[in-house]
Amino acid sequence: MFTRTRDKSPENLPEVLHVPKNIQNDIEQRGFHLYKWISPDEVKLSIQRDFLKTLKFFGIPLAVISLIFAFISGLSLLVFFFTIFVGVCFMFIYLLLLSIKRSRLLTKSAFVIMTDSSISLGWKIHKLSDISGLKNDIDEVSETFEEDLFWESRLDESKKSLSKDISSQLFGWYEKIFSILDRVGGKDSIQGMLILMALYTIYIAIMACVYFIGVLGLIVFGQLMTWLNTKYLIYRWQNVIKINKLFWDLDISSDDIRAEKTRLKSLLKNAHDNEWKDGLLLEINAGIRDINTSAQSAVEQVLSLKNTIHKSRYKDMFSFEVYNSWIKKQISKPLEDILTLLEKNQDTLIQKQNDIALQIKDTEKIELKSVLKLQVKRIKMQLKDINKFIPMLEDSITKLK
């Protein structure tokens, strides 16, 4: 259900919302789609990006301020280092506060719930016909995490671009200092520029350390934030996650039932052609038991899904008419086909049993009677199992209605 691809959007949707065709198809088929927009990993990436952005825009002013204070204090290295230390501390405090803000924004942008009539973002539910109230929230998330709704994230590209800019920014000033040295004259001027270059080199070394320590620190901090945010999202969105999982489980159950139906149909045909041999009887009975188990599991999933939706805040935006149609197609119809197959096979077995009974009555050959009686025994065994499982299958189908 989760998707990051985009196709042409339906023309009847508002301009502010461009829903990919595959998501729209999903909604039309089952009446529900859960889109995973922003993830805890993207919060981590956004903090790493902001660290680089802060270095880029804060680095040069910090260098200038540090140099000014160093010259004012009589080229005191202690003042120079202390100024950089204070600036870096403020930068990391800013990033810490920013990470808290990002995490709060994550809680309302992690999931977008859509039905055929409504959309929900951050627990705000809007009709698709009027979602202008969501535009500000969508724009805030898009700008913060550099990811438009239903589009790919641009955070990785942004990080790479900022890393290149920082590298160019730090080392690019050497060329400017050398060009100034070429133009200045006098021993004192050259000496001053050399001192400036020495301080600048020290600054670059410090900022390089800040960069690498910051990157390593943010990796550890990011992992912690990702873990905490993931745990909180699971707690805060547990009903939505459960609904989505049940939809996935029903898809799997549907595939299993269809596969078991195909296999059972083939086994019954082979058994009929080979006079119900014991090996095939065991396979058929195992297949029927598997179908019954899958049917009961599917019924439990359907009932659990309905109950979970009714207890959630999204029940009023959910289209149960579409959902019921999907359940009939995915679960009820395959089970009804299997029931028809078993009932038809039941009639065939009864007819076969009656025909063999007449053959036994008409024949006088003892050897032939023994073979015919063995066939009757096998047929009765199969009828016993079919008669046992048909009511159970009927009960499962009834519960789905």
Residues of the chain with CATH 1.20.58: 239-399
Tell me which residue has tokens 């202390």.
82
DSSP secondary structure string for all residues of 309-342? HHHSTTGGG--HHHHHHHHIIIIIHHHHHHHHHH
- Listed ranges 48-62, 67-81, 242-256, 275-289; the one with the highest mean pLDDT: 242-256
pLDDT for position 273: 67
Tokens coding 271: 């058994």
Mean pLDDT of the chain: 79
124-127 and 33-36 beta bridge pairing: unpaired
pLDDT tens digits for 344-400?
888 887 888 888 788 777 777 777 777 777 777 877 877 887 888 888 888 888 888
Give the largest CA-CA distance in the chain.
Answer: 133
Distance of CA 193 to the CA centre of its chain: 57
Percent of the chain with pLDDT over 70: 85
Give the DSSP letter string of 5-44.
---PPPTTS-TT----HHHHHHHHHHS-EEEE-S-HHHHH
pLDDT score, position 16: 52
Whole-number Å distance between alpha carbons of 197 and 294: 76
Long-range contacts of 384-388 (CB under 8 A, 24+ apart): 385/284, 385/285, 385/288, 386/288, 386/342, 386/345, 386/346, 386/349, 387/346
| pLDDT tens-digit map of 255-276 | 888 888 888 888 777 767 665 5
Q: Report angle CA 329, 330, 335 to the nearest 5 degrees.
A: 90
Q: Cα–Cα distance between 241 and 232 in angstroms, integer?
A: 12
| pLDDT given at position 3 | 40
pTM: 0.69
Tokens representing residue 296 in the block: 């009961």
The number of CA neighbours under 13 Å toward the Cβ of 186 is 5
Distance CA 226, CA 39 (A): 9
| pLDDT for 9 beyond 70 | no
Which residues partner with 127 through β-bridges? 118
Tell me what pLDDT residue 8 has: 39
pLDDT of residue 11: 42
Per-residue pLDDT reduced to its tens digit, 38-77: 889 898 888 888 888 888 887 777 777 777 777 787 767 7
User: On the CB side of 254, how many CA atoms lie within 13 Å of its CA?
Assistant: 15
Token pair 């920013």 is found at 98
**CA angle at 184 for the pair 178 and 186, rounded to the nearest 5°:** 125
Q: What architecture is the 239-399 domain classified under in CATH?
A: Up-down Bundle (1.20)
Per residue in 108-145, pLDDT (tens digit) is: 888 888 888 888 887 788 887 777 778 888 888 888 89
- pLDDT score, position 277: 60
Please state, in angstroms and rounded to a whole number, the distance separating the CA atoms of residues 56 and 35: 34
Contact 126, 113 (CB under 8 A): no
